[in-house]
Amino acid sequence: MGDPVTPLDIALAIRAARGHWAGLTRETAERIARIVLGVADVPAVAITDTARILAYEGAGCPYMRPGQPVQTKATRQVLRSGDVALIERKEDLHCPVAGCPCAVQAAVIAPLKVQGEVVGTVKLYAERPGPMPGYATRLAIGISELLSLQAEISEVERQKELLAQARLEALQAQIRPHFLFNTLNTVIATSRVNPDLARELLTELAAFLRHTISYRGDKIRAIDEIAFVQQYLRLEQARFGDRIAVQLRVEPQAEAALIPVLALQPLVENAIVHGLAPKDGQGKLLISLRRRGAELQMAVVDDGVGMPRARLRRLFLPQERGGMSLGIANVHERLHALYGVHGQIRLRSRPGRGTFAVVRLPFEVREEA
């Protein structure tokens, strides 16, 4: 039997669904499964994520319903290994349901991957035992590659949205009424005794606000992000004076490292606004960047009012994203999306003793053209 459908047919079909793509969701999977079943000469198609069935179209199986856990051992093995599986006998699927009445006798199971990580599977079935037809195997692999590419594109777009959100949040955080009120009050008070310094502060404020929305790209050199942080610190120190003592320790090797845009400033802002500003007397702020082997470590440490453990645990919860947790949650999401398990943000805090925030990410530099 010849190929019932060309790779172009599938590519165009999936491309047509792209306007509805919102990641590997049940709605997206059902749409794609219907497209594939409609153009492919196979009796059934299924799509899963790493834990559950997202879509099943075709020859009926009472146990392959969307929302149910992944049923077969064969699928779980593909999720673990990331390798294509060719199943020639129904018993090799290792269905947990004894005497399952479904007509499936053979299958090809292909993994879906995003940035090398398995996020699901695509499965094409046959109603006769034996080797899957060559076209079905090629089709399953091609579909998995196309869906994986679409997921990669979706993730890139999500990163752009997160970056835009980070810029907006940083801008909103800094132009919120009490920030502008306090900063402009400082400028007015300074202008009476030191007009030159007042003009410098206004210039600094304008440059700071412009920086939050002007940079293009996902990553920036650490030394440039530090310059942005120093702009912020000069504005805050003009207001707080000697109430905040800042130490900046940056190893020379760390200066050239690439880091996500606006990954450091939100941590510094939280340390000042939520840790040091409410504290009686002088507070200390330490900002350090250093290379440790293949890893870059960025730390922001304050001796401010701190927070209880219960509050610390809630910072990353979606329902808690306001105030302090807003910027931290965004940094956490972008680190995870860019680096997976290799990008981490960790927090430690004790009431009355301060807060310690450290970001760990792979050390990388921009290659010279």
Please state, in angstroms and rounded to a whole number, the distance separating the CA atoms of residues 46 and 62. 13
pLDDT at 231: 85
pLDDT of 277 above 80:
yes
Please state, in angstroms and rounded to a whole number, the distance separating the CA atoms of residues 208 and 228. 7
pLDDT, tens digit, 9 for 90 and up, residues 323-355: 555 567 778 888 887 888 788 889 999 999 999
- The superfamily CATH assigns to domain 7-153 is GAF domain (3.30.450.40)
pLDDT, tens digit, 9 for 90 and up, residues 193-240: 888 888 888 877 777 766 665 555 678 899 989 988 998 888 888 888
Verdict on whether the full-model pTM lies above 0.95: no
Q: How far is CA 150 from CA 61, 115, 337, in A?
A: 28, 12, 16
Burial bucket for residue 165 (CB in 10 Å: 0-12, 13-18, 19+): middle
Cα-Cα end-to-end distance for the chain: 51
Q: At 22, is the pLDDT very low, low, confident or very high (cuts 50, 70, 90)?
A: very low
Q: Which amino acid is at 315?
A: L
More confident residue, 283 or 214: 283
In angstroms, how far is CA 47 from the centroid of its own chain? Answer: 23
Burial bucket for residue 58 (CB in 10 Å: 0-12, 13-18, 19+): buried
Domain chopping of the chain, boundaries: 7-153, 242-369
**Most confident of the following: 51-55, 150-154, 161-165:** 51-55
Return the minimum-mean-pLDDT range out of 58-72, 133-147, 174-188, 194-208. Answer: 174-188
pLDDT, tens digit, 9 for 90 and up, residues 160-189: 677 766 665 665 555 455 566 667 777 777
Q: Which amino acid is at 283?
A: G
Residue-averaged pLDDT of the chain: 80
Ranges of H-type helices in 50-133: 73-81
Sign of CA dihedral 17, 11, 48, 343: negative
pLDDT of 273 above 90:
no
More confident residue, 209 or 126: 126
pLDDT of 11 above 90:
no
Q: Which residues pair with 52 in a beta bridge?
A: 69
Please state, in angstroms and rounded to a whole number, the distance separating the CA atoms of residues 166 and 184. 24
Lookup: tokens for 339:
């680096």
More confident residue, 366 or 326: 366
Give the residue from 85, 83, 88 showing the smallest Cα distance to 133: 88
pLDDT at 189: 76
pLDDT of 114 above 80:
no
pLDDT of 154 above 70:
no
Q: Which amino acid is at 324?
A: M
* Contact status, residue 17 vs residue 34, Cβ threshold 8 Å: no
Please state, in angstroms and rounded to a whole number, the distance separating the CA atoms of residues 2 and 181. 73
More confident residue, 253 or 323: 253
Query: Dihedral through CA 315, CA 316, CA 320, CA 324, nearest 10?
Result: 40
- The superfamily CATH assigns to domain 242-369 is Histidine kinase-like ATPase, C-terminal domain (3.30.565.10)
Residue 252 neighbours by CB under 8 Å, 6+ apart: none
Q: Which amino acid is at 232?
A: Y
**Most confident of the following: 49-53, 62-66, 293-297, 331-335:** 293-297
pLDDT of 91 above 50:
yes
Per-residue pLDDT averaged across 22-31, rounded? 73
Burial 117-128 (b: 16+ CB within 10 A, else e): ebbbbbbbbbee
Please state, in angstroms and rounded to a whole number, the distance separating the CA atoms of residues 70 and 47. 10
Lookup: tokens for 268:
């510094």
